[in-house]
Amino acid sequence: MKKIALFLFSILSLLMIGYPAACKDDIIFWTTEVEKDRILVQQDLAREFTRRTGIRVRIIPVEENLLSARVLAAYAARSLPNVLYHPVEFTRGWERSGILDARSSTRVINHLGSSTFSPGPLGFVRVGNGYAAVPLDAWGQLLLFRKDLFREKGLPVPDTWGSILRAARELNNPPEMWGFEVATDPGQTYTQQVFEHLALSNGVRLARATGTSPTNIDLNTPQMVATLRFYRALSRFTPPGNISWLHTRMDYLLGRAAMIIWSPFILDELSGLHRGQPVLPDIRRKEPGFLARNTGFVTVIKGPEGSAQYGQVNCLGVTVDGASPPARQWVEFLLSVGYLRWLAMAPEGKLPVRRGTRGEPECFLRGWMDLEMGLSNRVTISRLYGTSVARGMTAGLDRLDRWGLKSKSVLISTIYGTKVIPRILKRFLDGEINAEEAARLMNQGVKALWIED
């Protein structure tokens, strides 16, 4: 019995704390790019880095939904990796908590040249006169819609609340076709992303512009109540149950959803570039590239009292436990020699936040335009969707919007980690509480998490 207990304790320790200590000059790199093909790319990059520097890199995949808990456990055990690839909503909170070393990131950005980065993503990670982490890639969230179905019904582009709701109602024909699939799973960051996009489009902000106390939180507003009601109206054209990113993606690819909100990572899949990918059930729609040709994209959604495009920036953070010259070398390598190979893992969802070098200010931007997406059949984004779509995706980096990243980013880390907004949203969608009560509870829930920046 004691042997079994010791074995279970050992396994639990590995899961919660991490991995055995590396040699002094080795680098441990935690990455949320966990797909097999992307792990292979990262391992190739690590081998190239080792050939150039003699420094070994250990690639450790960590599921994004588990990242926050794993990092906090490793911090408590003083076994953090050297470098963390992570979503920007955690950056300032982790720096404030003593997890990330801002001095290392600032040195990297200054060495590479702050002017070579897009100013928008840099603004998300700025702390004082430095930077909490180094932006690596980004994407802007998209509303995808079936252009062919919209043409058949004579519907306008769904870029306003009114046009979205009208199209969802007219195209809804379950179970063959759902009018608009919104996220409803309370345990997923994806639900926060979709809801926040629509809330931002109606002028909902996390906090008032001034004030440094919990009373500054400002989610209990008429704009939030209206957003909740709009979201519930859309959910009536969504399948029942806890709808996740996987549900919405698969239903759109299978021709069962007229509209979804998703990251651009879906672009290669809807283009039919994967062998064995499911095709639309209607025989006339089995032709290659049908979805790509018949999908429209909305970047900025306009609500009654605002407009916005939700965006995500992913960063490299050097940790306090792993801060060292080799760790900074690895970060600089990924943003220079290895940059295009990193972006090539999924160019549709990895836009270059570093546009070029001091000598060639747009070399990475031009290189990204030529990167091919897809696993089986490969083609560039500009060739498949048009140059205007590709340029529009990169041009929007400085206009991406998020709740509180520049003013209340420490609090944002906690909001995303606890998923307080999706949990209350689900209660509202299930009819347990009304819109006014949901707005009030969201306001109270966020205030209870208050951490002053």
Residue 333: predicted pLDDT: 98
- 412 has a pLDDT exceeding 70: yes
Superfamily of domain 142-309+419-448: Periplasmic binding protein-like II (3.40.190.10)
- Give me the sign of the Cα torsion angle 229, 296, 147, 243: negative
d(CA 361, CA 49): 24
The CA distances from residue 38 to 45, 219, 256, 269, 305, in Å, are: 11, 38, 29, 16, 40
Pick the range with the lowest mean pLDDT from 17-26, 300-309, 343-352.
17-26
Q: Does residue 15 surpass a pLDDT of 50?
A: no
Handedness of CA 4, 9, 15, 20 (dihedral sign): negative
More confident residue, 382 or 340: 340
The DSSP-derived string for 201-264 is TTT--SB-SS-SSGGGB--SSHHHHHHHHHHHHHHTTS-SS---HHHHHHHHHTT-BSEEEE-G
Residue 386 has what pLDDT?
A: 67
Compute the distance between CA of residue 17 and CA of residue 9 in angstroms, rounded to an integer.
Answer: 12
pLDDT at 4 over 60: no
H/E stretch holding 306: strand 306-308
**Angstrom distance (rounded) from CA 18 to CA 78:** 10
The answer to whether residue 284 scores a pLDDT higher than 60 is: no
Q: Tell the burial category of 12 from Cβ atoms under 10 Å away from its Cβ (0-12, 13-18, 19+).
A: exposed
The vertex-251 CA angle with 249 and 254, nearest 5°, equals 110
SS3 211: coil
- The per-residue b/e assignment along 233-256, b for 16 or more CB within 10 angstroms, e otherwise, is bbbebbbeeebbbebbbebbbebb
Mapped onto helix, strand or coil, the DSSP state of residue 27 is: strand
Residue 99, amino acid: I
- Identify the CA nearest to 269 among candidates 258, 280, 259: 280
pLDDT at 21: 41
Full DSSP string of 364-400: HHHHHHT-EE-SSS-EEHHHHH-HHHHHHHHHGGGG-
What proportion of the chain, given as a percentage, has pLDDT over 70? 85
d(CA 212, CA 107): 30
Residue 19 confidence class, pLDDT cut points 50, 70, 90: very low
Q: Is the pLDDT of residue 453 over 70?
A: no
Identical fold between 2-139+311-399 and 142-309+419-448 = yes
DSSP state of 100: B
Asked if pLDDT for residue 215 goes beyond 80, the answer is no
Q: Which CATH class is domain 2-139+311-399?
A: alpha beta
> pLDDT tier at 218 (50, 70, 90 boundaries)?
confident
Rg (CA), the chain: 22
pLDDT mean across residues, the chain: 87
Q: Where are the domains of the chain?
A: 2-139+311-399, 142-309+419-448
| pTM of this structure | 0.76
- What is the Cα–Cα distance from 411 to 295, expressed in whole angstroms? 36
Is the confidence at residue 246, as pLDDT, over 80?
yes
Q: Per mean pLDDT, which range of 104-113, 210-219, 308-317, 410-419 is the poorest?
A: 210-219
CA angle 272–273–276, rounded 5-degree value: 75
pLDDT(143) > 90: yes
Average pLDDT over residues 187-200: 95
